Structures are given as structure tokens and as C-alpha cells.
Structure 1
């Protein structure tokens, strides 16, 4: 029987390329975390995350070399200063790992579902399994140390009900029904993600070498702060429990542990994650006021991300992702 050996699809190239670049960035960030952590209990988890990221780069490098696909430059030693002083608290390290694990689980499950070649599906399963282990180990550690932030609680339902009144879908004015459990969950997630983002952005604004880039990070911090306030209001309106404020301790250091290029890319990645979360929240929210709030911030974060991309392009830092051939440009070459 003849063995069919298809090329890697556009979806597979895209997810592998993005994983490579993202993990090259993660290695820089985690290396500085490991260098500056004070709580030795956290070290094995950071080390495991680092080992997993290095494993991803090695396996993707092998596959791309075999297929004749150039490796992206990504990030390297020039983008991290391991001698720089500690910028974030150990609690921030743990919460960052939690956020990183959650994002990885979503990314790798999607990547496997859109991959067709057996060897690529194997890679994404391997990456998912590693991320699941990281997520579980870090969650357990956070719970043991009393710093894990749970999704808001509600009373258990005591009966099955059907909706009979179309006002259940709500309106922009007047009385609104209490939030559904799923709506509360998405508010909680978006509060958590926004808190992670604004903590990182405030730290980045403190150490960025360029004033323009520092101001950009501060603008993102202010946007994240406003999002947290607005999502909190939605929970408080119905007297729901809401995530407690979390330790966002940032030291007084002005010594940059990471390059401006890396911090800008990280911020754009965070923006993309936020936009994806807003899309999921819109799909899950039946109340019109909630959907409108998510749409508002989807547009604001999208505009903010575009501004960041423009800064990266101005500095020559925006590495071009894999793209289909520009047939129009080829045709114009012959004219």
C-alpha cells in the first residue's frame, strides 16, 4: 500500500509557527522568573514550564527543518537580562503561570482539532498534556498557598425551569434579570485576565526604555483597570460574589528584565487573548447589556492592539507570519 505523505496545511503551519514564537518569548520570561523567585516551592513548576517550552522549540525545529520551512527568529538571549532585579512578586509569577496554562490548554486543543497530519496531531497532544500538567501543578500550589482566585459562587439550583418570558433576554434600559451562571463565569474570567494584563503592563511601563512605548503600556494599564471596574459593577449589581483583588506587587526596579520588543509582543499577545475571551463571552451572554459591554471592549482592545502593532512595525520588530503567495504582486512583476 502506497504511503500518503501530505504537506503541512496552512492551519498547521500557522499554529506551529505561533507556538514557536510564543514559546521563545516564554523562555525569556520564565528564565528571569526562575532567576529571581524567592519562594523555592515555585521553582520546580517554573522549571517544568521552561523544559516544556524548550521541548516545543526543539520538536518544531526538527519538523520545520524536515519540511524545508524557515524557523522564525522569535526571541532569544538578547531579549532578556537575567541580571536585572526582580520586577514582579512570586504571587504574580504563580498567577502568570495559571494564566499561561489556561491559554495553552485552549490553544493546543484548537490546534489539534484543526490539524490533519498524524505527526502534527501528536505534537499538539504532547503540548496539551504538558500544559495540563503545568496547569494542575500550579493550581494545586496556589491553593496550598491560599492565593488561588476562584470563579464567583452562586446558590445551587433546586429545580428545572423553562423560560416563558422573552424579557429574559433583557434590554439596555430598565429592569434586568439576575445573571446566569455562565454570564457570571465569563465576567470572572475577564476580570482575572484583565488583572493579569494590567499588572504586567504597569511593570512594563516602569522599565521600558522608550518613553513612547512606556506611555503605550500605561495606556493599556488604564484600559485594563477600566475593564475590571466595569465587569465588577455587573457582578455587584446583582449582589454576586466576585473575585477578590489580587496581589499585584511591583518592585521599585527600573532595570528592564526584557527588551522593549519582547514586552510589546507580549502585550499584543495579551490583547489577542482578551479579544478571544470577549468573543466567547458575547456568544455565551444572553443579556443584551453584557453583550454590548463586551463588544465595546472588543473594539477598544482591538484598536489598542493595532496601535501596538504599528509601533512594532516602526521599529522593524514585527516578524511576518506565514502567508499565502501574493499572486497580484507576481503578475505585476511581469508588466
Structure 2
């Protein structure tokens, strides 16, 4: 008699797992379109090789997620299709700008996949998430090495560190006002530089998408985002300048004028709301919890409040244009 291996039946998906695979599908669907365009327009062969790996991974993820949706009799999200990309459109971004884009996608992955993994119990979902965490770690290492070799990696400031242990002896350690503030500590410098570098990238994305958007309303929305980022940069750079702490200048964000946008308005808005929105909230929250000086905390609080207002408008914009896919929801048992 032929031996057959007993296959352990899978439990039904939890609400958290449904949310995780749904979000992962939309994320990979978005990324696939960007990677297709980047692969077609990148001239640097080293960058092109990394993009191909990221493109193949996003395609693999979509196939795996489709199988889970079908096996669970769940509706596959619409996501983003060929209609959202003109893959053969002219080159918009310099190769270095594309490199920064790819690195930014890995930052989003590292802020979402580990949390999703820790909230999942079903083996196939955990395996999918674990594979992506491992892939992201490896590809992020490749990207950092590549940026370093090309001299375009934006390093945080290097500072002289006190060699003796100091214990705070007064609540004044928290003070950031009225000229009585202490020097910024290493975690605060790390937070400030991280957010500043991200804001520099975000500003140029807003500038580019403003040029590419096809409607007046969306152009206005992206323009307001650029102005908001300018305020963030002015506010946070002021702290480091007063401390005489140098920070890397903005990266090589060169863009080219094109007649036709390679991206649909829907795709660009989703990137803004997801990559620049959701991930920025995570970054700002981390910065607030690990900063102690009151003036810095208040700056981050103000940035968070402004972001809530701005990205809330972005969600409303997507709903108005009928681009917003509702997340899976429970059956209404009140009817």
C-alpha cells in the first residue's frame, strides 16, 4: 500500500490574519507596479539586479496570497492592475532616486511584517510573513552596501560620546525651554536625523507626484504635502543646528520632465497614504517614546497632529474618487 503523509488541516483564519494578508496583498500589488517601472527605466546594472529580485519577490507574494484567499473562499482584493502603470513610459527618476525608493519600500516592510508575524498563529500565514522578513533583511543589506559603494547612503550624525556614566540628578534633565535645556542625547539625535532624512525623501516624492498628477485637486493635495514636509524639516533641523550637530545633506533626488505620467493617480495617492503616511506615523511614535527633552517631544506631537489631519484628507480623497477598497469586515449581525 502506497504511503501517504498525513497533512494537518489548517484552522480558519483569524480576523488579524485576514487583515494581515489583505494588507500584504495591497502592498505587494502596489510595489509590483513600481518595480516594473523601475526595472524598465534603470540604467545602472547593479541597481537593476536588486530591483529584479524585489520584483520577483512581489510577484511570488501575490501568487501565494491569492492561493490563501481562494482556499478560504475570500474575495481577492482588486489592488493595482496593468491599468495603473505605463511600464514603457519615459524615465522620471534618476537611478539614485530609484535606489532610495527601493530602500524606502524595505523600511515599510520592516515596520509591518514583524508585527503581522507576531499577531499570526496559522502556519501558512506565519511562513509567508517569515519569508518576507528574511527576504527584506537580505535585500536591505544589499541596498545599503550598494548605496555605500556609490557614496549616496545618508548616514546619521557621528558625535563624540562622554566616556563616564552620568545619572540625571534633576527633573531639569527633561527641560527643553527657556535656555535651560541640556544637550541632545544619542537617541534624540538618532530620532531627529531619521525623521529628517525621511522628510527629505518624502518632500521630493511630493514634488514629483505633483508634476505627474492629472487633476487639479490631486496636484493641490500633493502640494500641501510638500509644504507640510517643509515645516517638518525647518522645525527639526533647527534643533540640530542650535546644537552644532551636522546632518547629511539631502540625497540625489534628480527627476526628469516627462509628457505622460507612468503612474495612475490612484497608485500615487496610495503610495502617499501608505508609505509616507502609515510608516511615518510609526516613525514619529517611536521618536516620541524615546525622546525625553520636552521641546523635542512637543515638536513631534505637532508633527503627528498635522499628519493626522493631512493623511485623513488623503483617505477621504480616495473614497471620493472611488479608489478606496474597504478592508474585509464581519457580517452585520444586527440586521
Superposed pair shares fold, TM > 0.5: yes
1:41 is paired with a residue whose SS is helix
Q: CA deviation at 1:156?
A: 3.0
- Answering whether residue 205 of structure 2 is matched by residue 200 of structure 1, we say yes
- Answering whether residue 302 of structure 2 is matched by residue 305 of structure 1, we say no
Where does residue 31 of structure 2 map in the other structure? 26
Query: Would the alpha carbon gap of residues 185 and 112 (structure 1) be closer, same or farther in structure 2, given more than 3 Å must change?
Result: same
- Answering whether residue 59 of structure 2 is matched by residue 48 of structure 1, we say no
Where does residue 182 of structure 1 map in the other structure? 187
* Counterpart selection for 1:274 from 262, 276, 280: 280
Deviations 1:164-215 (A, max 9, x none): 1110011443321111111111111111211221111111110111111011
Where does residue 223 of structure 2 map in the other structure? 218
Where does residue 14 of structure 2 map in the other structure? 9
Where does residue 191 of structure 1 map in the other structure? 196
> Structure 1: how far apart are the matches of 2:76 and 2:227?
36
Gaps of 5+ in 2: 1-5
1:42 is paired with a residue whose SS is helix
The TM-score with structure 2 as length reference comes to 0.94
> Structure 2: how far apart are the matches of 1:126 and 1:308?
32
Q: CA deviation at 1:301?
A: 1.1
Q: CA deviation at 1:317?
A: 0.5
- For residues 136-155 of structure 1, the aligned pairs below 5 Å read 136-155=141-160
> Structure 2: how far apart are the matches of 1:248 and 1:222?
17
> Structure 1: how far apart are the matches of 2:7 and 2:156?
52
* Counterpart selection for 2:81 from 70, 76, 86: 76
> Structure 2: how far apart are the matches of 1:316 and 1:16?
22
Q: CA deviation at 1:6?
A: 2.3
Q: CA deviation at 1:163?
A: 1.2
Where does residue 318 of structure 1 map in the other structure? 324
> Structure 2: how far apart are the matches of 1:20 and 1:296?
32
> Structure 2: how far apart are the matches of 1:84 and 1:199?
20
> Structure 2: how far apart are the matches of 1:213 and 1:192?
25
Contact 2:197 2:250 survives alignment (8 Å): no
Gaps of 5+ in 1: 331-335
Where does residue 262 of structure 2 map in the other structure? 257
- Answering whether residue 237 of structure 2 is matched by residue 239 of structure 1, we say no
Q: CA deviation at 1:159?
A: 1.6
> Structure 1: how far apart are the matches of 2:74 and 2:199?
36
Q: CA deviation at 1:39?
A: 1.4
Deviations 1:272-301 (A, max 9, x none): 111111111111111111111111111111
Deviates more, 1:166-175 or 1:306-315: 166-175
The size of the alignment, in residue pairs, is 329
1:83 is paired with a residue whose SS is coil
Where does residue 168 of structure 1 map in the other structure? 173
* Counterpart selection for 2:42 from 33, 37, 54: 37
Q: CA deviation at 1:308?
A: 1.1
> Structure 1: how far apart are the matches of 2:35 and 2:132?
17
Over aligned residues, Cα RMSD in angstroms?
1.6
Contact 1:206 1:254 survives alignment (8 Å): no
